[in-house]
Structure 1
């Protein structure tokens, strides 16, 4: 079963990379903005690439029988981010930002978020996440939000219409605040779900839970 799970992780990571690459090539050949500071500034692009990285690394570790505790927290955080990517797109942006390449749009806003969610909920090769470490979802999100709002106020580039200062900072604050609240609620649910042993690779939970002593000796800042 571990070979099947690893293969799925590699396959969806490859699908994501194909979709992101196709989108970049399309923009580059059709007069789109492919300046890296702009193109890779999109939360969607960043977090699809992050999802591909953590899924691929999780697949490799699964095959080699190794475990990195920090990766479990990274997977939890990225699962929150990519869930937000899908939720925000389909609720706020889909109607106002019709896709130029529908299949790439469906992959990065639908298929990858859905797979990451199922991978987290159903596959048991992760230990329960500590609730007091919920803070790990914030550093990246705060930096991204700070940089994006600063750019909106200075060079007037924003990745999404609801973040445009021209709509008023009250509106921007309302949307961003709502997304932060949703992210915290989603993170709490995903952290709680990590206590479920999953349907696939359930035996991995026994292996994970048998290692607390070794983890406490490891000064990695994210020991369980």
Structure 2
């Protein structure tokens, strides 16, 4: 079963990379904005790539029978981010946008969020996450929001319509605040879900030494 789970992680990571690459090539060929500072500024692109990296790394460690504690927290954070990608797209953006390449859009906004969620809920190769370390989801999100809002106010580039200062900072603040609150609630639920050992590879994290400073085997038992 380890090989099947690892293969699925590699497969979906590769599928995501094909979709992101195809989207970039399409934009470049049709006069789209492919300046890296802009194109990779999208939360969707960043977090699909992050999810692919984390899943692939987790797949390699699974095949080796190893567990890195910091990677489990990275998986938890990335799963929160990619879930937000799918939720925000299908609730706020899908009704007002028409994707130029439907299949790539479906992969980065639908397939990857769904797979990452299922992988987190069903595969038991991670120990429970400590609530005291829920803060790990915030640094990246705060930096991304800060940079994006600063750019919107200076060079007027924004990745998503609801972040456009032209709509008023009250509206922008409301949307961003709501997303932060939702992300926090989702993170709490995912942290709680980490206490369920999953259906696949149930208990595979037991007895494996966590290879990170200050995080030892007792984390498998004392996660609160």
Question: Under TM normalisation by the shorter chain, which class is it?
Answer: over 0.9
Deviations 1:8-35 (A, max 9, x none): 0000000000000000000000000000
2-structure distance, mates of 1:207, 1:121 = 20
Corresponding position: 1:38 with 2:1: no
The CA deviation string for residues 187-208 of structure 1, in whole angstroms up to 9 with x for no partner, is 0000000000000000303234
1:47 corresponds in structure 2 to 47
Secondary structure of residue in 2 paired with 1:98: coil
Q: Write the distance in 1 (CA, Å) between the matches of 2:147 and 2:203.
A: 43
Listed one character per residue, the Cα deviations across residues 167-210 of structure 1 (whole Å, up to 9, x for unaligned) are 000000000000000000000000000000000000303234xx
Equivalent position of 1:139 in the other structure: 139
Distance in structure 2 (CA, Å) of the matches to 1:176 and 1:106? 24
Tell me the residue number matched to 2:73: 73
Is 2:111 the counterpart of 1:116?
no
Q: CA deviation at 1:63?
A: 0.3
The alpha carbon displacement at 1:220 in A equals 6.6
2:158/2:164 contact within 8 Å kept: yes
In the alignment of these two chains, the number of paired residues is: 218
Give the alignment's TM-score, normalised by structure 1: 0.94
Name the CA distance, whole Å, in 2 between partners of 1:92 and 1:122.
28
CA–CA separation in structure 1 for the residues paired with 2:215 and 2:177: 32
CA distance in 2, matches of 1:140, 1:160: 18
Structure 1 moving runs of 4+ over 4 Å: none
Aligned equivalents of 2:54, 2:203: Cα separation in 1: 21
User: For the aligned residues, what is the CA RMSD?
Assistant: 1.5
1:83 aligned onto 2:78: no
Give the distance between the partners of 2:52 and 2:204, measured in 1 at CA.
Answer: 22
Q: State the alpha-carbon separation in 1 of the partners of residues 81 and 214 from structure 2.
A: 27
Whether the 8 Å CA contact 2:47–2:82 is kept in 1: the answer is yes
**Given the two structures, how large is their TM-score scaled by the length of structure 2?**
0.94
1:166 aligned partner: 166
Residue aligning to 1:206: 206
Question: In the alignment, what sits opposite 1:59?
Answer: 59
Is 2:153–2:165's contact at 8 Å kept on the other side of the alignment?
yes
Aligned to 2:195: 195
Q: Indicate conservation of the 8 Å contact 2:127/2:206, yes or no.
A: no
